[in-house]
Structure 1
Amino acid sequence: MHAMSEPTLSARQTFTRLWPTISPFRLGLVVAGIALIVNAAIDPFMLTLLKSLLDDVMGRRHAGMLLWMPLVIIGLILIRGVSGYISGYCISWVSGKVVMSLRRRLFSHMMGMPVAFFDQQSTGTLLSRISYDCEQVASASSGSLVTVVREGASILGLFVMMFYYSWQLSLILLVLAPVVSLAIRLVSRRFRRISRNMQDTMGLVTSHAEQMLKGHKEVLMFGGQRVETERFGQVSNRMRRQGMKMVSATALSDPLIQLIASFALAFVLYAASFPSVMTTLTAGTLSAVFSAMLMLMRPLKSLTSVNAQFQRGMAACQTLFAILDTEQEKDEGTRVIGRAAGHIAFRNVSFTYPGSETPALNAINIDIPAGKTVALVGRSGSGKSTLASLLTRFYDIDSGEILLDGHDLRDYTLASLREQMALVSQHVHLFNDTIANNIAYARRDLFSRAAVEQAAQMAHAMEFINKMENGLDTMIGENGDYTLASLREQMALVSQHVHLFNDTIANNIAYARRDLFSRAAVEQAAQMAHAMEFINKMENGLDTMIGENGVLLSGGQRQRIAIARALLRDSPVLILDEATSALDTGSERAIQSALETLQQNRTTLIIAHRLSTIEKADEILLIEEGRIVERGSHQQLLQQNGAYARLYQMQFSQASPLPE
């Protein structure tokens, strides 16, 4: 299971865990702390001047003090301004560094999470964790820290001054200190609970907005504006209610603390009326002590108010740590291989998706000799794509074993295993980059421009790339749907749901391999994918930017870019999961020819609904409800006149004589 654990740490434990992230920047904290203490010391010093003014100047003992006291006051104000600037700058610098460090750590950890984790978490919630929650941490580590240190130093300085002038009156305030501390502690618990609810609700708001933005065409087509507006209104109202609870708790805590403090002040004035106390007080002393007590109200109120902000930050830290504590994808293999021969074997493999009771695969046995092609057919949900996910170890099997060249997949390191495979799947991610960079992803320095264009050409992608203003360098937009697979160093993804990154065509083809693929290699891959036919018609060719998620490309054009990316990998194992499903008949024939060339001397697993695309497979497996019910060549299965033959007859009897 990869569900995130519920945060149970206290605020102190949470901050203790956050400290290693803050400690590398402690020099900034030290400078800020010194500046804050200097800033806080101004108030007690000003009250000392007030006492001297009343006792000495007004008492005519040192009337000359009036000559230099204005200069001292101006100097103190200047010191306060400079120290305030230094503390504010240093604290903001530290908080910015902390937030950047947390975000990078969180992002890196998410990239190491298994596919099952992303199946259980909405994209909107995870985006909220990276953006909103990290900003809450920034508030806790900047504004809250400034307030705590400055106001804490102010309270300490005022108490020291008060005890120096009248320990009897000051002692009264210490008696009430535990009451104030208890009130703040009780309020803190409510703040933290509300803050956690606000973060969860913000994740829902982000998730609903994301779903509407991604499915806006369906919303418009099916008239779902009212439904989506109501849904978003409900979660937005939940966020508003949580916000009002926070405001209510804050508004209640402020007068509560002030009420407790007012009782203390009243009692101090009453105690000062006792003859035994009055004989120890001068007018200046009483004014200074009483003024200090009044000045304590401001830092006490600030500490109470900042408590809500601090608790929001700590609650945000807890949600971030919950993700960081979630186990990453296991990579316990030690075997590293340069290039596999490609012999694949499934031996009595069974698998059930997490949270499901029905097995997706049951006792599957398949042997694919190196260089051979095996096709999987069957209804949607029969388990065909699950086999591809198990082969790439997006999921681990429950029982049995999967072998590559006689070794269990779990014996290989994940990087080495996925280096051997090019996955052409139903869920393709192309990056927010150019076409060329997507084709040569992560190997751009190895593949030339020509290689990228050749890959695009072979995938019939150049037909549309050439029509674009910037060709392969067209930006194709960003897409929040990409999974761990699309981030894998070794994977190429091509599907009927193509995901292109907001970058140039060349960068999409060379995705994650820009440093390994030369420009010529990228162009060659585009050419082989039949992509150069449209890329050459674009003004910037492979350097054409193609918009968010390839919005400037048609479905078939996007798919050819993804196929070019797979062609560029030159992996010994090829997985084709509905690779040509989004293409018209003409493009499919052209790409089918390119894919047949690509399949030569490669072990190929084809998952298809169109039986016309798998007739040349060495073996065809018909899967129903996670089991292999028929197997053989195309002709053998037709002669058996079983389920495959009926499926074949149904497809071709319904085929339209008109071009697609």
Structure 2
Amino acid sequence: MFDRQTLSLYKRLLSYILPFKGLIAITLIALLTIAAMEPAIAMVLKELVDESLIAKNPDSFVMMPLLLASVFIVKGVAEYFSKVFSQWIAQKAVLAIRADMYHKMQHLPFGVFQSYGTGKLMSKITYDVPQASSALSNAWVILIRDSLTILALIAYLLYISWQLTLLMLIVGPVVAFIIDKASKLMRNSSKAMQKNMGQLTERLEESLTAHQDIKIYGAEQYEQKRFQDTATELLTNSMQVTKVSALNVPLVQVLAAIALAGVVYVAMQMSAQNLFTPGELLAYITAMALTFEPIRRLTSINETVQKGMAAAESIFELLDQPNETNTGGKTLDSIGGELVFHDISFYYPNSQHPALESFSLKIPAGQTTALVGQSGSGKSTLVNLITRFYDASSGQILLDGKDILSLERGFLREQIALVSQKVTLFDDSVAANIAYGHEEHDRQAIIAAAKAAHAWEFIEKLPDGLDTQIGENGNLLSGGQRQRIAIARAFLKNAPILIFDEATSALDNQSEQMIQQAMETLKQNRTVIVIAHRLSTIENANNIVVMQQGKLVEQGNHSSLLKQKGVYSQLYNQGQEFNE
């Protein structure tokens, strides 16, 4: 059941309950009491037969029933405290594990976060943690209580007849071998189940998020099959664990029963030769029978332990991921907003082709620079490098002459406001969404930001105004309203660098016009980077940068680029849009 790897994992898992040493001590005392009461039952039965039924001792007529009742009362009280305290300790540990995992997810490097995927990360918290919780709440209690119980009963059996007890213990190595083999099979199947649950959660998340696309493209059967295949694989692995566990328990019990039958036969012969008193014979058989239930529980808990260890392995794999690096950690007294890219190259993980190659560009402070190009040209990659979601493979990015790698990461991101086509809102009030990450702002500042973003005109008409709950990802608002909330958030942040990532590409003309007005106001006195989709959004830019396959191929203002009759001019004359 416990090889070296399992012991190491379980030890690390148990470290989460160590802060509760006092309650652990009480629980252990309760478990010791429970273990001591098992042989006490057999001892009372021995005296009941020998003293009350055979010797007819009148003093025992009252004493023995009282002793028997006392044993069960003490055992019941101890079981109550052990269960309540162990569960409380386990739930506090689970709370700590979930907090550590959530903290880790917030600080994972962007690339690692993307490699896991949302579904797999959700599965780790929603599925893996409860599996580990069972190993924390039930497993260690059963392991300690039933191991102590078996030891106490064997000690009593040795006291009555060490010869018979050694005969009974012959099956021990066989039982240990069976449990070890079953453990390895269940661990492997449990790991496969972890993977299946991650895939199942991923499928579910995709289907719920993309339900409109599924319907419009008639892909219901395709998605149903993908979900069914993953669910079937999960069922197969679950049944593998169940079958091994179901065979493991009765096989151990059959071996124990065979040993018991042999011992009972020999004990009966010894009793016939007056080597046992009737009470000793009954006590011995009772004590042997009492070992059956803890043996069964120890064998059954093996499934819980193996599932818990597979879950713990998955949890600690995540927790052991390195956080975002933060070399240097400098801050600057003031930010002008000049950005310089010097010979930047970047490769995405597991990619052989550069997303950016020998890219150099200067973005002056306080001016608007537009990035245009077809999909895969490197526009969004450039933004990811500015925000340090990724770090360049080679080259330097300078902010006001300072390498951004030398700046404290949080400080750098404080200087940047991002408004993208894909607006992210939270299931909270309008006010909380505008002030997201900046809860220190008062209501008047939130209202001023909403007015500047042309959002106040619809906010004040909402049922509860700023306190209106907007639903998951703002689904109770229109696309244009959601976009204006995002721009109000950028106004409130008041960062010197502003990035518009195709912020108006999915809007109708009226919404776009209102948002364009808000964006023009927001651009004032800021360094602005616009990833362009519609030509109307970039014609007034101070500098337009044309990108192809990770390289800068043209730059200049709108009129100068048209005169060059190059890539920009060709696309403009063809009336094409720059799709990301």
* Equivalent in 233, 246, 250 of residue 251 of structure 1: 246
Match of 1:507, SS state, is helix
Alpha carbons of 1:148 and 1:653: their partners in 2 closer, same or farther (altered >3 Å)?
A: closer
Would you say 1:336 and 2:331 are equivalent positions? yes
Tell me how far apart the structure 1 counterparts of residues 403 and 88 of structure 2 sit (CA, whole Å).
50
1:588 paired with 2:508, answer no
Taking the aligned partners of 1:275 and 1:567, their CA distance within structure 2 comes to: 93
Equivalence for 1:287: 282
Match of 1:358 in 2: 353
Distance 2:367 2:516 in 1: 16
Is 1:272–1:278's contact at 8 Å kept on the other side of the alignment?
no
- Tell me, yes or no, if structure 1 residue 417 matches structure 2 residue 342: no
What SS class does the counterpart of residue 184 from structure 1 fall into?
helix
User: Is 1:174 aligned to 2:169, yes or no?
Assistant: yes
Match of 1:436 in 2: none
Distance change (3 Å), C-alpha of 1:36 and 1:248? same
The 5 Å alignment of 1:533-552 reads: 533-552=457-476
| Bigger fraction of residues in helix | 2
Distance 1:553 1:507 in 2: 15
The whole-number CA distance in structure 2 between the counterparts of 1:14 and 1:156 is 25
Separation (CA, whole Å) in 1 of partners of 2:248 and 2:98: 33
Shift of the 557–653 alpha-carbon distance from structure 1 to 2, 3 Å rule, reads closer
Q: In 1, distance between residues paired with 2:80 and 2:125? A: 29
For the 8 Å contact 1:503–1:545, the answer to whether it is kept is yes
- CA distance in 1: counterparts of 2:577 and 2:206, whole angstroms: 38
* SS of the residue 2:396 aligns to: strand
What secondary structure sits across from 1:501 in the alignment? coil
Displacement after TM superposition at 1:115 (Å): 1.0
Aligned residues: 576
The alignment status of 1:532 with 2:456, answered yes or no, reads yes
**Cα separation, partners in 2 of 1:619 and 1:275, compared to 1, 3 Å:** closer
Q: Distance in 2 between matches of 1:644 and 1:267?
A: 93
1:360-387 CA deviation, whole Å, 9 max, x = no partner? 1111111112112211111122111111
**Cα offset for 1:653?**
11
Shift of 1:98: 0.6
Contact 1:28 1:93 in 2 (8 A): no
Contact 1:158 1:296 in 2 (8 A): yes
CA–CA distance in structure 2, aligned partners of residues 93 and 273 of structure 1: 47
Map 1:202-217 → 2, pairs under 5 A: 202-217=197-212
* Deviations 1:571-624 (CA, angstroms, capped at 9, x unpaired): 111111112223332332333233223222211111102111111211111101
Shift of 1:300: 0.6
| 1:605 paired residue among 500, 510, 529 | 529
Unaligned runs of 5+ in 2: none
Q: Does 1:501 align with 2:426?
A: yes
Whole-angstrom CA distance in 2 between matches of 1:162 and 1:294: 11
Quick one: distance in 2 between partners of 1:592 and 1:43? 79
Q: Which amino acid aligns with 2:227?
A: F
Q: Do the aligned partners of 1:333 and 1:414 also contact (CA within 8 Å) in 2? A: no
- Equivalent position SS for 2:545: strand
Q: How far 1:61 sits from its partner (Å)?
A: 4.7
1:53 aligns with 2:48: yes
Q: CA deviation at 1:400?
A: 0.9
Q: Is the CA contact 1:15–1:314 (under 8 Å) kept in the aligned structure 2?
A: yes
Q: How big is each residue's C-alpha offset from its partner over 1:222-262, in whole Å with a ceiling of 9 and x where there is no partner?
A: 22222222211111111111111111111111122112212
> Structure 1 stretch 327-336 or stretch 387-396: which is displaced more?
327-336
Which residue among 399, 406, 410 is the counterpart of 1:404? 399
- The Cα of 1:412 is off from its aligned counterpart by 0.3
Which of the numbers 113, 120, 126 marks the counterpart of 2:115?
120
Pick the aligned partner of 2:125 from 127, 130, 134: 130
Match of 1:155 in 2: 150
Instruction: Give the equivalent residue in structure 2 for 1:477.
Output: none
How far 1:19 moved relative to its partner?
2.8
Which residue is 1:382 aligned to? 377
Deviations along 1:498-544, whole A, 9 cap, x unmatched? 22100011110110111x21111111111111111111111211111
Q: Distance in 1 between matches of 2:258 and 2:71?
A: 32
Matched-pair contact (CA < 8 Å) for 1:339–1:420:
no
Q: Per the alignment, in what secondary structure is the counterpart of residue 329 of structure 2?
A: coil
Cross-structure match for 1:87 = 82
1:652 to 1:362, Cα distance in 2 relative to 1, 3 A? closer
Tell me the residue number matched to 1:372: 367
Secondary structure of the residue aligned to 1:64 is: helix
Matched, 1:629 2:553: yes
Cα distance in 2 for residues equivalent to 1:362 and 1:146:
59
Please state if 1:262 is matched with 2:257: yes
Q: Relative to 1, partners in 2 of residues 1:653 and 1:574: Cα closer, same or farther, differing over 3 Å? A: closer
- Aligned-partner SS, 1:21: coil
**1:347–1:364: 8 Å Cα contact kept in structure 2?**
yes
For 1:579, what is the secondary structure of its paired residue? Answer: coil
Identify which range, 402-411 or 55-64, moves more after superposition: 55-64
Confirm or deny: 8 A CA contact 1:52 1:284 kept in the other structure.
Answer: yes
2:574 is aligned, of 644, 650, 653, to 650
Whether the 8 Å contact between 2:533 and 2:577 is mirrored in structure 1 is no
Shift of 1:57: 1.7
Distance 2:333 2:177 in 1: 65
Residues 174-219 of structure 1, C-alpha deviation per residue, up to 9 Å, x if partnerless?
3332222222222111121111111111111111111111111112
- Counting aligned pairs with the same residue, the percent is 43
* 1:9–1:418 Cα change, 3 Å: farther
Report the residue type matching 2:431 in the other structure: A
Residue 558 in structure 1 maps to residue 553 in structure 2: no
Which amino acid in 2 is paired with 1:223?
A: G
Deviation at 1:338, TM superposition (A): 3.7
RMSD: 1.9
What is the SS of the residue equivalent to 1:204?
helix
Give unmatched runs, 5+ long, in structure 1: 1-7, 425-494, 655-660
- CA shift for structure 1 position 274: 6.1
Task: Return 339-348 or 34-43, whichever deviates more.
Answer: 34-43
TM-score between the two structures when normalised by the length of structure 1? 0.84
Deviation at 1:637, TM superposition (A): 0.4
What is the aligned partner in structure 2 of residue 106 from structure 1? 101
Q: Distance in 2 between matches of 1:369 and 1:359?
A: 26
Give the secondary-structure state (helix, strand or coil) at the position aligned to 1:410: helix
Partner SS state of residue 391, structure 2: coil
Structure 2 counterpart of 1:511: 436
AA of the residue aligned to 2:213: E
- 1:308 to 2:298 alignment: no
